[in-house]
Structure 1
């Protein structure tokens, strides 16, 4: 295969520190929910609700915050990559 000037340029995926943080933000809620042994208890209760339930419900809010952070960081990373690394 020859490198012709009209051949489309294929860009490889880039791993940046920002993208690693994005990945961690997206994975954290899954890890928290899949690690069942960490929350299979009833104490401490919160306004009469056992820990097992309020822990899971609180992760709905925490996951939404992580998703918003991941989205904003992804936008920032895309902007900086398109501008050539300048902020």
Structure 2
């Protein structure tokens, strides 16, 4: 068992956290900019732009969140591997 002073992860790099934060912020902020898409045209199969744009952002946001998750998972694995490498040496 490890002692409370033994780290479980190595030092963090800021890059993955910044990129993930930007992706998540984009997924949240873009649908909130209602004046940007509050119109009827261009209609898609008779559906006003207002509605299909919001639905499109459901899929875009899920993709952005999936990318952010993969980035953070890889960063966490890198940090854990760094500690294991130090412990084995």
Q: TM-score range by the shorter chain?
A: 0.7 to 0.9
Q: Please state whether the residue corresponding to 2:82 is helix, strand or coil.
A: coil
Q: How does 1:1-87 map to 2 (within 5 A)?
A: 8=5, 14=12, 16-84=14-82
C-alpha deviations, 1:19-41, integer Å up to 9, x for none?
11111111112111111111111
Q: Name structure 1 gaps, 5 residues minimum.
A: 1-5
Offset of 1:50 from its aligned partner? Answer: 0.6
Say which structure is richer in helix: 2
Number of aligned residue pairs: 80
Gaps of 5+ in 2: none
For residue 9 of structure 1, report the CA deviation from its aligned partner: 6.8
> TM-score, with normalisation over the residues of structure 2?
0.75
Q: Stretches of 4+ moved more than 4 A in 1? A: none
Between 1 and 2, higher relative CO (CA 8 Å, sep ≥ 6) is seen in 2
TM-score of the aligned structures, taking structure 1 as reference length? 0.76
Q: CA deviation at 1:83?
A: 2.0
